[in-house]
Amino acid sequence: MDERMEGQLAPLPAGTVAPDFSLPHTPQAHLTLHRLYERPVVLVFYPLDWEPVSREQLALYQDYAGEFDHFGARLLSISIDHCLSHAAFARDAQVRFPLLADFHPRGAVAQAYGVYREEQGVSARALFVLHGQGIIHFSQAYPDLLNPGVDDLLTTLEAITRDDELPGAG
């Protein structure tokens, strides 16, 4: 891990209200975060389409789509690529959840979440789980060459679900 590069990132911590955004996932359609607050939301920031670790990571999340559905979670991925690149990449990688374009202004959403790598002009690899009115329950940045897998996400979603089921919760 390059500690110097990791040290420059400051992902928003758990307990913080997630910054709202509206990003394109096709040339004609935008997705707005606050409209999804009735369900848990998983935000997956990744550096670039077509980058091998990103492809492996997003394909893994597609393989676990049923688990995310089981917890009622909405999975969204975000990179600085244009939505046309996302469309081609999603077809090729067989990814069916939204790939959002943090394209213009470049990396603005990644910057708001504290996970933009200014020197490279890309998002870091980072995960956030939101629930309630956009409260961050989990946040973590990872080295770019590491696929973070699904364990942290599924564990957090399970805890959120369990908390929601407690008497007086919610």
Return the pLDDT at 168: 58
Q: Residue 69: inside a domain, yes or no? A: yes
For residue range 120-154, list pLDDT tens digits in order: 999 999 999 999 899 999 999 999 999 999 999 99
Q: Residue 168: inside a domain, yes or no? A: no
134: containing domain: 3-163
Return the pLDDT at 118: 94
Residue type, 22: S
Stretches where the chain sits below pLDDT 70 are: 1-7, 166-170
Q: Residue 20: inside a domain, yes or no? A: yes
Q: Give the ranges where 96-150 is alpha helix by DSSP (H).
A: 108-112
Q: Residue 59: inside a domain, yes or no? A: yes
Task: Decide if 153 contacts 147 (C-beta within 8 A).
Answer: no
Q: Residue 50: inside a domain, yes or no? A: yes
For residue range 15-28, list pLDDT tens digits in order: 999 999 999 999 99
The total number of structural domains in the chain stands at 1
Return the pLDDT at 1: 38
Q: Residue 170: inside a domain, yes or no? A: no
CATH number of the domain to which 65 belongs: 3.40.30.10
Q: What is the DSSP string of 4-55?
A: HHHHT--PPPTTSBPPP-EEESSSS-EEEGGGGTTS-EEEEE-S-TT-HHHH
Return the pLDDT at 164: 81
Q: What is the DSSP string of 47-97?
A: S-TT-HHHHHHHHHHHHTHHHHHHTTPEEEEEESS-HHHHHHHHHHHT--S
- Residue 3 carries which DSSP code? H
